[in-house]
Structure 1
Amino acid sequence: MQQESWISKIAFFFNKVLALLTILAYILPFLAPKLFPFLSVLTLLMPLFIILNFIFFMIWVLQLKKKAFLSAVVLLIGFTFISKFYKFSETNLPESSHEFKLMSFNVRLFNLYEWLPEKNIPEQITDVIQDYNPDILCLQEYSPNDAVRLRNFPYKHIVLHGNRNKYGQAIYSKFEIVNTGEITFPNSSNNVIFADIVNQKDTVRVYSMHLQSIKISTDIHERLDENKSKFIFKRISNAFKEQQLQSELMKAHYDSCRYAKIVCGDMNNSAFSYVYRNIKDNMNDTFEEAGTGFGKSYNFKFYPARIDYIFVNDNIKVKDFRTNDQVKLSDHFPLMTRLEFKRD
């Protein structure tokens, strides 16, 4: 019998550690972050874990080794998680007179503090919105700006906070808004706003959310300069605990809603988290229903981060879903979907 090389032994040791971490990450969405806040950070790494398990699986298969069974089992257990990470095919159903289009976009205050060097970011964002021409538009990190031209929406609900520079969220609609409101979060400038919108004979409640940020820079050099990985992990775990409370307040609110629901916006967390599972509940993720690729919604270098979502009730058909990672006018990318109420 041929003796196993030390390289193979070391590789399989890391394979076993990876398998353990992946299984743990599978369990964490079912556990409240306040119970294990530090471990909850692992949910952000789930896509990387899945990719690495697949690489180990292929390495052992090509060598015809039984070690491949370990990663194969891990991948099979987490099969339902894969569609949250990557979609191989998309849905694009024909247009109809009954459908409506919704767009959700964290616009980062229309570049108020000049994070981007271009001077006409508000005008460019306006052009993107007009090109897609949504019937309902939800904007997170909204700030009043005279250069933003949204005149084709007769109805709107805008909630602003702050003193010198106002910021908040906005819902614009081509359909009548008959009721509005806000869900405030304790000790936080983040919030959720909602509007009850009448489209023909149907009334839908649209929630626009902006949950607590984990405050991780998109600049890799800035992260390295901090040189304090423990501090970063602690900051993320604290944010996850706040997001747990925010998601529970939000769910308690919309559980009492008698209308069909659409929940969209910036969750600041992955699709493998407790917060995602809690807010989504029994609704459908429009990316999983009709998207393709990674569904990347946040401009994070080297990593396909999906932290913005559109969820809909089961009585709403998802006909199309897109993100546009070529629109680099914010640190987020716009989400766009075509929807239609199911008829009996």
Structure 2
Amino acid sequence: MKDLSWFNKVMFVLNIVLTVLTFLAYILPFLAPKLFPFLSVLTMILPLMLIFNLLFFIYWGIQMKRQILLSSLVLLMGITFINKFYKFSSTDLPKSENDFTVMSYNVRLLNLYKWIERDDVAELISEFINDKNPDILCIQEYSEGKINLRAYKHKFILMKGDKTKTGQAIFSKFPIINKGDIVFPNSNNNAIYADIKRGKDTIRVYNMHLQSIKITPDVHEINEDINGINEQKSKKIIKSMSRAFKAQQEQAEILMNHKKDSKLPEIICGDMNNSAFSFVYRSIRGDLNDTFEEAGSGFGKSYNFNYYPARIDYIFADKKMEVKSFENYPDFINSDHFPIMARLSMVK
């Protein structure tokens, strides 16, 4: 520190603070959110912290300062997180007769309340799904009577709510031989499942929608709140996020307990409302494959959050399935989420 200018001393202090926060974010996926609910927000901004650590690494490297060792250590320890945030190359294996495709999409009630100022959103979503033609389709925040899907003889739709009916839906080209729902207490969110018979194989498909943290996609509003322009709203956001992280942990535990009763190969789809660096992600994924990590490319953005490539929607596939390709569609903006789709094949 003695050899540093006053400016570099300030930079190094900031570097130390960032390092401590980054190490906390590394540990949090292994700690239940109920213990430190608001600290869990660090897992959602971990990619941003890794970028700032990289900038510090470059900053000290240009000056050939030994302080570079701090950022080097942080980045080295975080190397296993990179694939969860960004994939440099995709996988697109040759198609075969044994392949099948799975799509997950939060359709935001098909624009029931005109969040998007146009009248044809439901039609555009219908056309998109019909064009991509997934074999299995999982929809969150479904709204009945507004979508026209041609290819699906089999479906399971569960609607909830008093004034506004919202629900989960699983559409399948293959027979559904068993189905059910998983209740999340004190929440409008839930999960459903369907056992789908495909040839000689039976696959259990879960469609989940976990508790929302209820923050606006408008980054400018969030920044204003954090800067104290609206202190009351900031406190509400903090309380809301803390409650949501606790609820997500409980919901993940309920889902995992339900899984224990099934010996079928499984696929878990849906809107987790949390990042790939979280305790909830680690719990639900378990030993399943994250299809984005296996075959995706880029950021895998699935939520329309300004200036930040948020990935909160997932397709997890059983180890008995090969992940042959993965796609997300960030240019299809007809909900606050983007559709994601994976091509899978049962391993013989």
TM-score bracket for this pair, using the shorter chain length: over 0.9
Matches within 5 A, 1:244-255: 244-255=249-260
Residue 208 of structure 1: aligned partner: 207
Q: Partners in 2 of 1:62 and 1:220 — Cα distance?
A: 32
SS in 1 for 2:243: helix
Match of 1:327 among 311, 326, 332: 332
Q: Partners in 2 of 1:34 and 1:308 — Cα distance?
A: 22
Q: Would you say the 8 A contact 2:178–2:194 is kept in 1?
A: yes
Residue 299 of structure 2: aligned partner: 294
Q: Partners in 1 of 2:3 and 2:337 — Cα distance?
A: 52
Shift of residue 233 of structure 1? 2.0
Mean Cα deviation higher: 214-223 or 333-342: 214-223
Deviations 1:44-99 (A, max 9, x none): 11011111001101111111111111111111111111110111111000111110
Q: Partners in 1 of 2:235 and 2:141 — Cα distance?
A: 28
Residue 237 of structure 2: aligned partner: 232
Residue 107 of structure 1: aligned partner: 107
Shift of residue 173 of structure 1? 0.3
Q: Partners in 1 of 2:132 and 2:99 — Cα distance?
A: 14
Deviations 1:1-30 (A, max 9, x none): x94211111101100110110001000010
Matches within 5 A, 1:89-238: 89-146=89-146, 148-223=147-222, 224=224, 226-227=230-231, 228-238=233-243
Shift of residue 164 of structure 1? 3.6
Q: Would you say the 8 A contact 1:178–1:195 is kept in 2?
A: yes
Shift of residue 275 of structure 1? 0.4
Q: Partners in 2 of 1:60 and 1:231 — Cα distance?
A: 39
Deviations 1:192-213 (A, max 9, x none): 0000001111110000000000
Matches within 5 A, 1:244-323: 244-323=249-328
1:8 aligns to 2:8 (yes or no): yes
Q: Partners in 2 of 1:196 and 1:319 — Cα distance?
A: 22
RMSD: 1.2
Shift of residue 34 of structure 1? 0.5
Q: Partners in 1 of 2:249 and 2:190 — Cα distance?
A: 13
SS in 1 for 2:217: coil
Letter in 2 for 1:58: I
Matches within 5 A, 1:3-82: 3-82=3-82
SS in 2 for 1:118: coil
Letter in 1 for 2:346: F
SS in 2 for 1:298: coil
Calculate the TM-score normalised by the size of structure 2: 0.96
Calculate the TM-score normalised by the size of structure 1: 0.97
SS in 2 for 1:114: coil
Q: Would you say the 8 A contact 2:326–2:342 is kept in 1?
A: yes
Q: Would you say the 8 A contact 1:41–1:233 is kept in 2?
A: no
Shift of residue 165 of structure 1? 3.0
Q: Would you say the 8 A contact 1:291–1:322 is kept in 2?
A: yes
Q: Partners in 2 of 1:342 and 1:5 — Cα distance?
A: 60
SS in 2 for 1:248: helix
SS in 1 for 2:45: helix
Q: Partners in 2 of 1:64 and 1:213 — Cα distance?
A: 45
Q: Partners in 2 of 1:4 and 1:105 — Cα distance?
A: 52
Mean Cα deviation higher: 214-223 or 37-46: 214-223
Q: Would you say the 8 A contact 1:122–1:145 is kept in 2?
A: no
Structure 1 segments unaligned to the other structure (5+ residues): none
Q: Would you say the 8 A contact 2:133–2:151 is kept in 1?
A: no
SS in 1 for 2:90: coil
Q: Partners in 1 of 2:150 and 2:89 — Cα distance?
A: 36
Q: Partners in 2 of 1:221 and 1:114 — Cα distance?
A: 22
Q: Partners in 1 of 2:260 and 2:91 — Cα distance?
A: 29
The runs of at least 4 aligned residues of structure 1 exceeding 4 Å deviation read none
Shift of residue 40 of structure 1? 1.3
Identity %: 56
SS in 1 for 2:36: coil
Q: Partners in 2 of 1:144 and 1:222 — Cα distance?
A: 32
Q: How many residues align?
A: 341
SS in 2 for 1:236: helix
Q: Partners in 2 of 1:162 and 1:235 — Cα distance?
A: 21
